[in-house]
Amino acid sequence: MKLSTKRTLSLVLGISLILFLATGSTVVLAEEEVMVPLKEIKPSCYGEIDMTKAEFALSEVGEECVTEEWLKENQQEDKSSDRVEKADYPGLAEGLNLISEKPAEGFHWPYFVYIPYGYFDSNGGTTSETNNILIESVNTGTSSDSYAEHKRAAKRIASRHDIGSSLNTPVLVPTYPRPRSGMRGWRYYTHALDRNTLNIGDENDELYRIDEQLIAMADYLLSALAENHEVRLENEFFLYGFSASGNFANRFAILHPDRVAAVAAGGLNGMPLIPKKSAEGKAGREVNLLYPIGLWDISDLVGTSTDLEAVKETPQFLFMGGEDHNDTLGYGDAFGDTERDRILEFFGTCIINPPDNPDFRDPGGKYYDDVCDDEYSKEMINRFELAKDTYEAQDLPAKFVIYEGAGHTPQQAYSDVISFFGEDYEDVDETKLVWR
pLDDT band at 376 (very low <50, low <70, confident <90, very high): low
Count of CA atoms in the C-beta half-sphere (13 A) of 186: 9
> What are the pLDDT digits (tens) for 110-162?
999 999 999 999 888 899 999 999 999 999 999 999 999 999 999 999 987 98
The dihedral through the CA atoms of 410, 380, 197, 140 has a sign that is negative
Within 8 A by CB and 6+ apart from 227, the residues are: 90
Mean pLDDT of the region 243-258: 98
Mean pLDDT of the region 65-73: 78
* Least confident interval from 13-22, 126-135, 183-192, 338-347: 13-22
pLDDT higher than 80, residue 70: no
- Position 429, amino acid: D
Looking at residue 375, its pLDDT comes to: 64
Looking at residue 56, its pLDDT comes to: 82
Looking at residue 51, its pLDDT comes to: 67
What percent of the chain has a predicted confidence (pLDDT) above 70?
A: 86
Mean pLDDT of the region 399-406: 96
* Least confident interval from 69-83, 323-337, 374-388: 69-83
Return the number of other C-beta atoms located less than 10 Å from residue 375's C-beta.
7
The dihedral through the CA atoms of 148, 137, 224, 207 has a sign that is negative
Looking at residue 7, its pLDDT comes to: 37
pLDDT higher than 60, residue 172: yes
Q: Residue 16: exposed, middle, or buried by beta-carbon count in 10 A (0-12, 13-18, 19+)?
A: exposed
Please give the distance of CA 81 from its chain centroid, rounded to a whole number: 26
pLDDT higher than 60, residue 22: no
pLDDT higher than 80, residue 253: yes
| Most confident stretch, 52-61, 366-375, 416-425 | 416-425
Cβ 417 vs Cβ 317: under 8 Å: yes
**Cis check: omega of the bond before 410, within 30 degrees of 0:** no
Return the number of other C-beta atoms located less than 10 Å from residue 378's C-beta.
13
Domain 18-31+79-435 belongs in CATH node 3.40.50.1820: yes
Looking at residue 11, its pLDDT comes to: 35
Can you give the residue ranges of every domain in the chain?
Answer: 18-31+79-435
Looking at residue 140, its pLDDT comes to: 94
pLDDT higher than 80, residue 317: yes
pLDDT band at 66 (very low <50, low <70, confident <90, very high): confident
Mean pLDDT of the region 371-382: 84
* Least confident interval from 36-50, 203-217, 248-262: 36-50
Mean pLDDT of the region 79-108: 72
**pLDDT averaged over the chain?**
86
Mean pLDDT of the region 51-67: 78
Q: Residue 71: exposed, middle, or buried by beta-carbon count in 10 A (0-12, 13-18, 19+)?
A: middle
pLDDT band at 17 (very low <50, low <70, confident <90, very high): very low
pLDDT higher than 80, residue 26: no
